[in-house]
Amino acid sequence: MEEHKGLDHENVLRLLYVDDTTNKDFTYLVLELCAGTLTDFCGGKYNGLMLPPDELVLYQIANGLNYIHSRDLVHRDVKPDNILISISTPISQ
């Protein structure tokens, strides 16, 4: 989690805060606000901003993963449920 807090890239969701002091059984992660997941979008449950063309979405996913890998980190659970769509950055056409 400390490594994630140090990540700074437009295609990687920011981890803002971690709290595991309240209840030792759970760790609470505060992430930047998202509009949904890739699963939501593909399933017709996404109501956020219009996404760019598919090839740009795939580029943004690959770009974020490349940045993570460049920091000698591995995501370990890349799947549509874990591809989060930011409400602020970058949904560019």
Position 91 scores a pLDDT of: 52
Q: Tell me how far apart the alpha carbons of residues 93 and 48 are, in angstroms, rounded to a whole number.
A: 15
Q: State residue 93's pLDDT score.
A: 43
Does residue 37 sit in helix, strand or coil? strand
20 belongs to the catalytic site: no
Domain hosting residue 78, numbered range = 2-86
Q: What is the pLDDT of residue 89?
A: 57
Q: How deeply is 14 buried, as exposed, middle or buried, from its count of CB atoms within 10 A (0-12, 13-18, 19+)? A: middle
Question: Does 22 map to a domain?
Answer: yes
Count up the domains in the chain and report the number.
Answer: 1
Instruction: Print pLDDT tens along the chain (93 aa).
Output: 889 889 999 999 999 999 887 777 888 889 989 999 999 999 999 998 889 999 999 999 999 999 999 999 999 999 999 999 988 755 544
- Alpha helices by DSSP H, listed for the chain, are 2-5, 38-42, 54-70
Q: Which of 81, 52, 54, 61 is nearest to 10 (CA)?
A: 61
Check 19, 20, 77, 81 and give the catalytic one: 77
Domain membership of residue 19 (yes or no) is: yes
Please check whether residue 92 lies inside any domain of the structure. no
The residue count of the chain comes to: 93
Residue 79 lies in a domain: yes
What's residue 42's pLDDT? 94
Please tell me the distance from the alpha carbon of residue 82 to that of residue 70, in angstroms, as a whole number.
Answer: 20
Q: Does residue 93 fall inside a structural domain? A: no
82 falls within a domain: yes
Q: What is the reported pLDDT for 90?
A: 55
pTM exceeds 0.85 for this model: no
